[in-house]
Amino acid sequence: MTPINGLHFDNLRGDIYGGLTAAVVALPLAMAMGVASGAGPISGMYGAIFVGFFAALFGGTPAQISGPTGPMTVVMASIFMQYTSLFPDDPAHGAALAFTVVVLGGLFQILLGLLRWGRYIELVPHPVVSGFMSGIGVIIILLQFGPILGHEGVSNPLDAARAIPRFLADAHGGALLLGTATLAIVYGVPLLLPRLNRLLPSPLLALVAGTAACLLWMEPGSTPVIGDIPTGLPAFHPPTIDLSLAMKMVASGFTLAGLGAIDSLLTSLVADNITRTQHKSNRELIGQGIGNTLAGLFGGLPGAGATMRTMVNVKAGGRTPISGALHALVLLAIVLGAGSLASHIPKAVLAGILIKVGTDIIDWDYLKRLHRVPRAGVTIMLVVLIVTVTIDLLLAVGIGMVMASFLFMQRMTEYQVRNMAAITRPDAETPLSEEEADILKQADGRILLFRLSGPMSFSSAKAMVRLHAEVTDYRVMVLDLTDLVSIDYTVARAIEDIILDARHADRPVYVAGARPDVMNMLERQKITRHLPRNHFLPTRTQALRQAATQLTPPNKAQ
């Protein structure tokens, strides 16, 4: 493994412009997500700096820009609130525990990469991802109703939804005006003034315009602002472990790691599509894990691959890790010198920017296709969305995966059942040679050709036994395994039951064409001991010939 994946200097101009542009987009988003998490805007900036820099250096997607994202921020807000509320007299201790969870999440991501689990993220079906991302988008939007109307934010999405009528009844005019103007800019400028949006991204334009309007035309204190922001290099926060909360912290760390892995690798797939490259998923997990571990040690938000920032970087010319690292260094320079200016940013402006982020995360493309996509997929998507918003993010993904797995098993079972056949008379659909068809025809239903093909798994085992039990009027059975690719333990036991049922009815059984892998499984489970060795034949034709000899008594054969 080379130290920096995809590093070269042939695209230096594009990487510099891409990194600078990505930093301009990341600035307002990082601060907004820091505020939304409860940890403060500086934590959002530190998260963008550490995750952005080290994920670029050690990750597996050269053009990817990493930093705080909507899904990670929602989970971090829950974690931060959970641990600080446990220690109302010492919130600093609760915050230390929350950032230790970030460190654990980073370490778990590194472990996932080292165990080469990155490829398994690709097994998450689209309805699960769609429902999860749309649920995250809804949560982000719900949580911004308070700040955009001049109130303190509510950490729980259901509580935020219930509080909307109260917020509307007591809306602060200045905050509402700034929030509305922000929404007009972030939604309107990309549509109406695309050239301006390329030069000055709409979130940054909204941030500058909203802050300037607040300073120039509003009375101090008339609308909530971010307030004092620390400047300078971040301080080191040693990990803090509370033994009574250790299991909770580990569970929270796994939540961050799993979500960050999904979030990052989905963005990696987007980057691949745009740049026509192939990312290295396990390496990406390691890079993200290093970035998140260091972010937690220095009080930064956890992060992941950020789709919008990655797309901005690529469209501006960024192709190598230089752009991602440069974007982080630009943000570091801003933190070191512009803290006093950022303290005047109105919270309503950041809320407006985050509402745009929330609507961008919602999978509108899938929602538009609801009337055309399979109902089972729609059901999975809606269940995941509802559970994400109302109960728990990780539980939502788990439920979605279980539902999708059962659906997949049902489809595979139907496919496998179609690959079973109990044949006593030849027909046009049965792929038999002329000799094989003649043997069955002459047997007149006394030979049962029980045919299995393709891969067979546990889900089809009962159907296999049931199909055999339906055929009772035969004298000899040929168990045709010629086209059977693979079996598991349950299928092997089903084959044993079929053989034993036939033997108990005093019906000879011949096994034809078993492949080495199938035969090895039958031998390991000691199923072959039920038949003489000469009843295992290499071809279906030979097995049918032997079966035919069982139909003619020896004295009539002379």
**Residue 555 confidence class, pLDDT cut points 50, 70, 90:** very low
pLDDT (average), residues 391-420: 84
Residue 554's pLDDT band, with cuts at 50, 70 and 90, is very low
Give the CATH number of domain 419-553. Answer: 3.30.750.24
**Structure tokens belonging to residue 395:** 């539980």
Distance CA 315, CA 323 (A): 12
Residue 416 has pLDDT above 60, yes or no: yes
Q: What is the pLDDT of residue 307?
A: 78
DSSP letter at 539 equals S
Q: Which amino acid is at 375?
A: R
DSSP string, 360-388: HHS-HHHHHTTTTS-HHHHHHHHHHHHHH
Tokens of 6: 């995809």
3-state secondary structure of 486: strand
Residue 505 has pLDDT above 70, yes or no: yes
558 falls in which pLDDT band (50, 70, 90)? very low
Tokens 């807000």 found at? 77
In this prediction, residue 230 carries a pLDDT of 67
What global pTM score does this model have?
Answer: 0.74
Q: Which pLDDT score is estimated for 247?
A: 92
CA distance linking residue 159 with residue 181, whole number of Å: 26
**DSSP helix/strand/coil, 36:** helix
Determine the average pLDDT of the residues in 338-362.
80
Q: Is the pLDDT of residue 411 over 50?
A: yes
Residue 66 backbone dihedrals phi, psi, to 5 degrees: -115, 155
Residues ≥6 apart with Cβ < 8 Å to 345: 31, 41, 207, 210, 211, 225, 226
pLDDT confidence tier of residue 553, bands split at 50, 70 and 90: low
Q: What is the mean pLDDT of residues 283-287?
A: 95
Q: 78-127, pLDDT tens digit by residue?
A: 899 889 988 888 888 999 999 999 999 999 999 999 998 887 776 778 88
What's the pLDDT band for 556 if we cut at 50, 70, 90? Answer: very low
- The contacts of residue 276 (CB under 8 Å, 6+ apart) are none
Residue in this structure with the two tokens 């982000």, named with its chain if needed: 140
Residue 317 confidence (pLDDT): 80
List, edge to edge, every strand of the sheet that includes 536-537. 420-423, 447-455, 476-486, 509-512, 536-537
Q: How far apart are CA 253 and CA 122, in angstroms?
A: 21
Q: At what angle do helices 347-361 and 202-217 cross, to 10 degrees?
A: 160
Band (pLDDT 50/70/90 cuts) for residue 343 is confident
Residue 427: how many other CB atoms lie within 10 Å: 10
pLDDT of residue 341: 67
Cα-Cα-Cα-Cα dihedral sign, residues 257, 261, 263, 264: positive
Segment 260-284 mean pLDDT = 84
pLDDT at 534 over 60: yes
Which range is least confidently modeled, 346-350, 362-366, 369-373, 553-557? Answer: 553-557
pLDDT at 391: 83
Q: What is the mean pLDDT of residues 492-496?
A: 92
| Highest mean pLDDT out of 92-106, 211-225, 267-281 | 92-106
Domain locations in the chain? 12-360, 419-553
Query: How confident is the model at residue 250, as a pLDDT?
Result: 94
Report the residue count for the chain. 558
pLDDT at 314 (0 to 100): 83
Residues 6 or more apart in contact with residue 354 via CB below 8 angstroms: 32, 33, 36, 70, 140, 143, 144
Percent of the chain with pLDDT over 70: 95
β-pairing verdict for 509-512 and 476-486? parallel
Structure tokens belonging to residue 373 = 């996509």
Q: Which of 11-15, 120-124, 181-185, 444-448 has the largest mean confidence?
A: 181-185
Output the six-digit token pair for 296.
């937690």
